[in-house]
Structure 1
């Protein structure tokens, strides 16, 4: 009688167990590989977000007038520089409403507040005499131009610039953290305190980042001196809401403007 070839029940069970072990290891390996790829992608996204946020803050602060930068830690405020030139003579007389100046580069015009020197008073407490004027207009031209204060306003500056330099600045801008969000505020006017009355309405408030760890943003300002401009150091922590993984970021910005 011919012998029949086949598997015993024991052999079949052993094969099934071995296949199950191999399948479990394979699934686990694939899961770990996939999880590692996802974690790596998330870290790369956080690193890219850190670069973008830091670059946005850096570029914005480099346009600031050094003497206008102030902070309370989680918020920083400054007046962006629109243009700069040299004056020929500061406003004089009992009610001065204009002064003569060298034309702006390219003969362009500009509108904003005029700041002379900026070290002799509080830019956020406008007064006459003082370092910052009411809104003014610098006309375009190729010969000495007459800078006039808008609306018939008058102003006297309380000090001279060593280089006879003046700056045209726009209204203040503030970067401030609230929860996980970093906001940019504008068009709120000059206020005595940082963040005293910041409007939550668009377009006065814009979202710059939404992945910050709560209360992690901190600004430090080293005021300008006669030898160097202001230096701003800021740090924050980016946080993944799913994994809880964090990435600290720190950067410094030097604001190079002369008095």
Structure 2
């Protein structure tokens, strides 16, 4: 007579316990592997975002007029005047009410508009007084040489100094990068102000968001102003934080502001 074959209750319980242990280890392994992949992807995304933000700031500041770059006391905001065009003047405004001067036309037969700056070194470029380095808005027309640069709306202006190379710049209104809380904003199309970030625009399109994942208070700009012997340098540093894990990535960059008297 054959004996009955099967599992005892103890053997069945031991098998269930072993399977549970193996399943737990497998789940933990998959969980940790997935979390690791997510963390690596998050770090790569923050690093890429840092490169994009740094490149945007770098490209903007490289267009800055030498000597126009300035920061606020805590370094959270930086302001500059972008260069629109560069040419040479034949004479500076003269006479009782100087409202124009003759200049070399731009290459390609194009015109340009903006404020004229002549040799602003050692001067406050954010002062619109006359005499001074910064003129009222003006128009540089297209045409055969020479062309007449005329200040808009009948304004008059005298420049305080001459350029050794008879060079002048046409610039646009100031621009600003500024951190507020977690956000980095870019400001444009506002009037010249005596100080940085005094009365900036509060809405679109004059205020644009560049990023929303900054660590509050982490953005710091530092400026080494240009001289006649060397170019200016802007150094900047900020921190990006992951909204999910809270992990922080440090970003730093330097920008050379070319010195062209």
Calculate the TM-score normalised by the size of structure 2: 0.97
Residues 82 and 190 (structure 1 numbering): CA distance in 2 closer, same or farther, change over 3 Å? same
CA distance in 1, matches of 2:221, 2:16: 63
Contact in 2 for aligned 1:120/1:131 (Cα 8 Å): no
Q: Tell me the alpha carbon deviations over residues 50-80 of structure 1, each in whole angstroms, 9 at most, x when there is no partner.
A: 0000000000000100111100100000000
Aligned to 1:65: 65
State which of 210, 230, 240 in structure 1 corresponds to 2:242. Answer: 240
Aligned to 2:112: 110
Aligned to 1:7: 7
Aligned to 2:41: 41
Aligned to 1:80: 82
CA distance in 2, matches of 1:30, 1:80: 53
Aligned to 1:140: 142
CA distance in 2, matches of 1:142, 1:22: 86
How far did residue 147 of structure 1 move? 0.4
Q: Tell me the alpha carbon deviations over residues 13-57 of structure 1, each in whole angstroms, 9 at most, x when there is no partner.
A: 111011000000000000000100110110011001000000000
Aligned to 1:191: 193
CA distance in 2, matches of 1:68, 1:157: 17
Q: Which SS does the other structure have where 2:93 is aligned? A: coil
Aligned to 1:26: 26
Contact in 1 for aligned 2:228/2:259 (Cα 8 Å): no
CA distance in 1, matches of 2:148, 2:230: 30
CA distance in 1, matches of 2:259, 2:139: 21
CA distance in 2, matches of 1:61, 1:228: 17
How far did residue 120 of structure 1 move? 4.2
Contact in 2 for aligned 1:120/1:130 (Cα 8 Å): no
Q: Could you say what the CA RMSD is over the residues aligned between the two structures, in angstroms?
A: 0.9
CA distance in 2, matches of 1:242, 1:16: 37
How far did residue 257 of structure 1 move? 3.8
CA distance in 2, matches of 1:105, 1:255: 23
Structure 1 spans left out of the alignment, 5+ residues:
none
CA distance in 2, matches of 1:143, 1:87: 11
CA distance in 2, matches of 1:120, 1:17: 82
CA distance in 1, matches of 2:44, 2:120: 42
How far did residue 142 of structure 1 move? 3.2
Contact in 2 for aligned 1:182/1:212 (Cα 8 Å): yes
How far did residue 240 of structure 1 move? 1.2
The answer to whether structure 1 residue 220 and structure 2 residue 184 are counterparts is: no
CA distance in 2, matches of 1:226, 1:60: 22
Calculate the TM-score normalised by the size of structure 1: 0.98
Aligned to 1:174: 176
Superposed structure 1 runs of 4+ greater than 3 Å apart: none
Contact in 2 for aligned 1:113/1:134 (Cα 8 Å): yes
CA distance in 1, matches of 2:210, 2:143: 38
